[in-house]
């Protein structure tokens, strides 16, 4: 009888340790999502800021400046529910203005344009990487949260279900192919 109780107790301790380890892993994944989301937000803000600076610098023609400024302003001011759409529209505006290398070359020829073009090229390249890191963390957390043991024992606590950030983040070809310093 005593041996059976000891084995039951050992089994319960092992199960408890396993559930605790799983809950810790889930907590680390949620922390990774938060960090990746902060990095993504920083890169999106940087891209919008650089775009607004370039649009107001007088380097571009007036029509391109207006298109870029409005798209960047909308992306910076968007509410959380509309953020993906606003960021996608900024990507489309960047592709429309910098779709061909002539526009990038025209920016580079103006005083201060070389730095502006380089900074924008870096910004548009970093957004897809930051989004990929965020969505990979979300995918891993979702996979773990779908397990029965996580649902049955409510190991996720009250943490909201992680959502991926889906947007059009394809950079303009002329900027993506440009080497940075």
pTM: 0.89
Sequence-distant (6+) residues with CB within 8 A of 45 are: 76
User: Which H helix or E strand runs over 150?
Assistant: helix 148-152
Model confidence pLDDT, tens digit, residues 49-89: 999 999 998 888 899 999 999 999 999 999 999 999 999 99
Q: Which residues of 158-168 are buried (b: 16+ CB within 10 A; e: fewer)?
A: eeeebeebebe
Is the dihedral angle over the CA atoms 94, 113, 181, 99 positive or is it negative? positive
Model confidence pLDDT, tens digit, residues 132-171: 999 999 999 999 999 999 999 999 888 899 999 999 999 9
CA dist 143 and 121 (Å) reads 34
CA dist 68 and 27 (Å) reads 39
Going through 14-172 in order, the beta strands assigned E by DSSP cover none
């Amino acid at each position: 009888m005593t041996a059976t109780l000891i084995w039951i107790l050992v089994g319960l301790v092992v199960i408890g340790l396993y559930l605790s380890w799983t809950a810790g892993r889930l907590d680390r994944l949620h922390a990774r999502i938060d960090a990746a989301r902060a990095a993504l937000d920083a890169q999106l803000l940087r891209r919008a800021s650089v775009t607004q600076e370039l649009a107001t610098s007088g380097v571009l023609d007036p029509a391109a400046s207006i298109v870029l400024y409005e798209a960047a302003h909308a992306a910076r001011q968007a509410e959380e529910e509309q953020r993906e759409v606003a960021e996608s529209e900024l990507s489309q505006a960047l592709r429309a203005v910098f779709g061909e290398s002539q526009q990038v070359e025209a920016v580079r020829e103006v005083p201060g344009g070389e730095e502006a073009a380089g900074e924008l090229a870096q910004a548009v390249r970093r957004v897809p990487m930051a989004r990929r890191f965020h969505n990979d963390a979300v995918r891993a957390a979702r996979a773990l949260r779908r397990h029965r043991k996580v649902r049955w024992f409510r190991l996720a606590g009250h943490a909201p279900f992680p959502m991926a950030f889906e947007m059009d983040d394809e950079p303009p070809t002329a900027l993506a192919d440009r080497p940075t310093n």
